Structure 1
Amino acid sequence: MFVVELSLKLSPMPISVQRKSLEAAQGLYGEIRQAMESGHPQLMDLRCEKSEEKQICLRSSEIVSVQLYEKSAMGAGSKRPGFSTGG
């Protein structure tokens, strides 16, 4: 399982969407990145492949960052995947 995680403006909690394959996760990552680069706010409907009843609609202009990682990278007691902003 792969996770595409979004950070939103003025929101302390990220939004995560899961994909079953790396190709699907990379496709979603590219779609979100393209929406961020376009400079034209648009609504994005996202649905989780693990729990298909979970879905969210958000405005692309509110996305600050997007990251992609494999869910198995999160083990018990391990550091959360991503990038550290601390020195």
Structure 2
Amino acid sequence: MYTIDLTVRNTPFPVSIQRKTAEDADAVYQLVMTAMRSGSPDIIELKCEGKIEKKIAVRASEISGVIVSQKEGVSGTGTRQPGFFVLNES
């Protein structure tokens, strides 16, 4: 399962959706990047494949970042924290 996190301006936590395949995740990433580059205030609507009842709509001009990551672990409980920067102490 692949997670796509969107960082939205003035929002402390990312908005996340999931895709089952790398190709689908990349397609969403390209869609978001195109919308961000356009600079228009269009609204992007996305649906989650992990939780089918989850839908999001966000104004493209308010997105400040996007990241695609693969969920680790068989149980899906990985230690991934929200956001773009995680510092692990050894």
- Please give the secondary structure, in 2, of the residue aligned with 1:51: coil
Q: What is the CA-CA distance between 1:81 and the residue it aligns to?
A: 7.9
> Which residue in 1 is equivalent to 2:42?
42
Of Structure 1 and Structure 2, the greater helix share is in 1
Identity, in percent, stands at 38
2:85 paired with 1:84: yes
- Please give the secondary structure, in 1, of the residue aligned with 2:66: strand
Q: What is the CA-CA distance between 1:40 and the residue it aligns to?
A: 1.2
Q: Would you say how many aligned residue pairs link Structure 1 and Structure 2?
A: 84
Query: Cα deviations across residues 19-73 of structure 1 (Å, max 9, x unaligned)?
Result: 0000000000000000000111111111100111110111001101000000117
Query: Please, what is the CA RMSD of the aligned residues?
Result: 2.2
Do the aligned partners of 1:69 and 1:81 also contact (CA within 8 Å) in 2? Answer: no
Runs of 4+ more than 4 Å apart: none
Q: Normalising by the residue count of structure 1, what TM-score does the alignment of the two structures yield? A: 0.84
> Which residue in 2 is equivalent to 1:72?
72
